[in-house]
Structure 1
């Protein structure tokens, strides 16, 4: 529902923009398309790589590695898996539910979800291209550290 609202809003604002200045709107759309074309090969490569990884590794194997009894090792493994995996949140949260039902620990899932959403090992080349090496490395290190803190806090609270 929210996505549909955003699409309607985007189209409405595009119409408003076109009514104000047709040439600027046309130029903006051309720039957006060119940017999309430049990023598409990298995104397709990432999507294909993740698809292959997810086809090879099933939920049961992951839940065995990050079970409740795996402790700190499980948090590190979950963080590493989350850092190198690139899947959207609408897939990640149901996957976390399945993993929880198959014996994964809360701390491990918190680390997995946090790093999955915030750390982007697979996207580092793309990030470096647009943000620079220093900013990309700093962002990923801070996100990884914060994810570990979140996992520990979730383990203590829950």
Structure 2
């Protein structure tokens, strides 16, 4: 139901925008379609990878590696994988939901998503180039510390 409400709001906003300025709305729609075309191949590729991974790795294995019973080992695995992978947020959250439904623990998924979004091992060289080594290293370190603390809290609450 909530999704339908969001679609209605989006459609209403589009109609309002079109009534205010047809040219700007058409330009915006063309730009958004171009963005969609650019994102679509990446999105489909990652969905295929997720599908293959979930088809190959059964729920028992996911639960063993990332389930609540995996404890510290599961947190470490989630932190390492999250820190070194480069996945956009619109892919990470459906992946996290799939992993949860396959038996992963909340703390482990919180660790994975938080490190995925905030810690950038792959992007570190670029970050060092723009911000300098000191700031880039501190930012990643503090992001990792935040990921650990928030994941432990979520794991304890859930």
Q: TM-score, normalised by structure 2?
A: 0.66
Deviation at 1:30, TM superposition (A): 0.6
Residue 77 of structure 2 is matched in structure 1 by 77
Partner of 1:26: 26
Of 1-10 and 75-84, deviating more is 75-84
Aligned equivalents of 1:111 and 1:81: distance in 2?
11
Q: Is the 8 A contact 2:110 2:151 kept in 1?
A: no
- Alignment partner, residue 64 of structure 2: 64
Provide the residue aligned with 1:50 in structure 2. Answer: 50
- Aligned-pair Cα RMSD in Å: 3.7
Q: In the alignment, is residue 116 of structure 1 matched against residue 113 of structure 2?
A: yes
Query: Cα offset for 1:47?
Result: 1.2
Contact 1:18 1:25 in 2 (8 A): yes
Deviation at residue 115 of structure 1 after TM alignment: 2.1
**Any stretches of 5+ residues in structure 2 without a counterpart?**
131-135
Aligned to 1:7: 7
Deviations 1:42-85 (A, max 9, x none): 11111111111111111111222345554422211233456658
* Helix, strand or coil at the partner of 1:119: helix
Alignment of 1:122-137 (within 5 A): 133-134=126-127
Q: 1:149 corresponds to which residue?
A: 149
> Do 2:67 and 2:108's aligned partners in 1 also have CA atoms closer than 8 Å?
no
Task: Report the alpha carbon displacement of residue 114 of structure 1 after superposing the two structures with TM.
Answer: 4.1
Distance of aligned partners of 1:73 and 1:93 in 2 relative to their CA distance in 1, 3 Å threshold = same
- If the length of structure 1 is used for normalisation, what is the TM-score? 0.66
CA contact (8 A) 2:68 2:107 kept: no
**Match of residue 96 from structure 1:** 100
Moved over 6 A (4+): 137-141
